[in-house]
Amino acid sequence: MTRHSAPIYLDHNAGAPMRASVRETMIAALNDAGNASSVHGHGRKARGRIEKAREKVARLCRAKTMAVTFVSGGTEANMTALTPSWQDQGAPVYLDKLFRSAVEHPSVVTGGRFAVVDQVVLPVDSNGRVLLDRLADALANAEPSLVSVMAANNETGVVQPLAEIGALVHEHGHYFHVDAVQAAGRMDIDLAQWQADVITLSAHKLGGPQGIGAIVVRSTAKVPAPLMVGGGQENWRRGGTENVAAISGFGKAAEEALEEASDTSHLSGMKARLEKGLRSACPATVIFGETAERLANTCCFALAGIPAETALIAFDLENLSVSSGSACSSGKVSVSHVLTAMGVDEDLARCALRISMGWDTGDADIDRFLEIWPKIVDRLNPEARHRAA
């Protein structure tokens, strides 16, 4: 088998290609000297770049500028947010437990700074959405705790009912964290509507650089205890000299992603054509979360009898990059905890593939995928291709 000449990238949920404008913005910052904490001209220029980026990231999620704290990425952001120690109106608060959904990203599944015995897993339905009645029961008699639910799932693209969850959380006097890493730039983000006390972001999902993320709070008077302490950087919320170039790139990516988030019809159209093509080629194809609201860019599907690990190799030989699920779960293919929580049979879950599109995806990329996939199925398991739904 020979590689197709033009590489195709359909794995934006793992990390989007860097935008050209982001690269230019970062190069300009890299060409300047200066520590943003210095009072001289070079330092003030670096500080200006950071604050300009802070404004753009705040705008992306309808937050106040000073509510944004830059960190090293989504994992550090989640580790910072997932803490029992908070400050509320200047007074220390200690949260009793962490309630998190069964389909969270691995960086949330670990529980952050909560002890294992203080973590409670919330069940989900067959689409991976939190069961609101079970959440209400869990919170009704609990001491003030933290609830963590992602905005949109990184594997299936399923969107959680965040406004309803937020209302329940605050009705019972708890705190609410939303991992918005996959949602940013792909759907509307509104901390007030969600009643989220804190959300977390990562730049490289938006076409920004890797290694930079943000914590965004609804109120600067209600914040999690810092994870990284040291100097007074980031308003004493995250110690360490700021990565000016990466922060600048994050700001530029946020600016462009906000414009794209206002109209995702092109992505929705490509996803609809992709899923129609999948079913046309293989009627027995299962699309996970199909009956729930999903991100416009994400399709997670499986065809029984076509193991994901084998299919990934076949796609790679065709110079086409897709995923079997979360890229943060190591380099090997294993059964997805997300699909397991949704009640998917283990054998079918091992066949799950994820297509995630983004700012640089075009119709020709989907056409190429739909050309390659039936050939791969015919090679690996011809009977699967003609199995009835």
Q: What is the pLDDT of residue 387?
A: 83
How high is the pLDDT of residue 38? 87
pLDDT digits (tens, 9 = 90+) for 294-303: 999 999 999 9
Task: Say which range, 233-237, 271-275, 276-280, 366-370, has the weakest mean pLDDT.
Answer: 233-237
Please tell me whether residues 150 and 216 are part of one structural domain. Answer: yes
The 3-state DSSP class for residue 337 equals helix
Residue ending a domain, among 213, 230, 261, is 261
Which runs of consecutive H residues, i.e. helices, occur in 141-262? Answer: 162-171, 191-194, 244-261
Question: What average pLDDT does range 159-180 have in this prediction?
Answer: 98
Same-domain check for residues 250 and 272: no
Q: What is the pTM of this model?
A: 0.95
Asked whether the predicted pLDDT for residue 198 surpasses 80, the reply is: yes
* Arithmetic mean of pLDDT over the chain: 94
- 244-261 vs 20-30: helix crossing angle, rounded to 10: 160
What is residue 330's predicted lDDT score, i.e. its pLDDT?
45
Beta strands 222-224 and 85-88, pairing class: antiparallel
Is residue 2 one of the residues assigned to a domain?
no
Do 352 and 327 have their domain in common?
yes
Domain count across the chain: 2
Same domain, 92 and 231: yes
**pLDDT above 90: residue 277:** yes
The domain containing residue 191 runs over which residues? 20-261
Q: Which pLDDT score, from 0 to 100, does residue 388 have?
A: 76
- pLDDT classification of 382: cutoffs 50, 70, 90: confident
Residue 212 domain flag: yes
Same domain, 218 and 70: yes
How far does the chain reach from its first CA to its final CA, in angstroms?
30
User: For residue 175, what is the domain's CATH number?
Assistant: 3.40.640.10
Structural domain contains residue 162: yes
> Do residue 281 and residue 233 come from a single domain?
no
Q: Which of 220, 239, 223 is nearest to 231 (CA)?
A: 239
189 and 320 part of one domain: no
Cβ atoms 384, 303 nearer than 8 A? yes
Instruction: Clarify whether residues 107 and 240 are in a common domain.
Output: yes
- 61 has catalytic annotation: no
CA 230 – CA 220 distance, rounded (Å): 20
Above 70 in pLDDT, residue 270? Answer: yes
Q: Within a domain: residue 3? A: no
Q: Tell me the two tokens of residue 137.
A: 């029961």
What pLDDT shows up at residue 333?
59
Asked whether the beta carbons of 214 and 70 are under 8 A apart, the reply is: yes
Does any domain span residue 203?
yes
Q: Supply 230's token pair.
A: 């040291």
Mean pLDDT of 158-172: 98
Q: Name the band, by pLDDT with cuts 50, 70 and 90, for residue 69.
A: very high
Point out the domain boundary residue: 216, 237, 261.
261
Q: Is the pLDDT of residue 328 over 70?
A: no
- Give tens-digit pLDDT for 84-113: 999 999 999 999 999 999 999 999 999 999
DSSP state of 206: T
Query: In this predicted structure, what is the pLDDT of residue 6?
Result: 86
Residue 100 within a domain: yes
Q: What is the CATH number of the domain that holds 282?
A: 3.90.1150.10
Instruction: Output the pLDDT for position 327.
Output: 46
DSSP output for 75-115: HHHHHHHS-SEEEETTEEEE---EEEETT--HHHHT-TTS-
> Could you give the CA distance from residue 265 to residue 297 in angstroms, rounded to a whole number?
10
Q: Are residues 36 and 184 in the same domain?
A: yes
Over residues 43-59, the mean pLDDT reads 96
Q: Among the three residues 238, 261, 284, which one is the final residue of a domain in this structure?
A: 261
Q: How confident is the model at residue 3 (pLDDT cuts 50, 70, 90)?
A: low
Same domain? For 284 and 249 the reply is no
pLDDT band at 332 (very low <50, low <70, confident <90, very high): low
Whether residue 380 sits in one domain with residue 320: yes
Residue 285 covered by a domain:
yes
Indicate if 106 and 243 belong to the same structural domain: yes
Please identify which of the residues 282, 300, 328, 351 carries the catalytic annotation: 328
Question: What one-character DSSP code corresponds to residue 345?
Answer: -
Read off the DSSP letter of residue 225: P
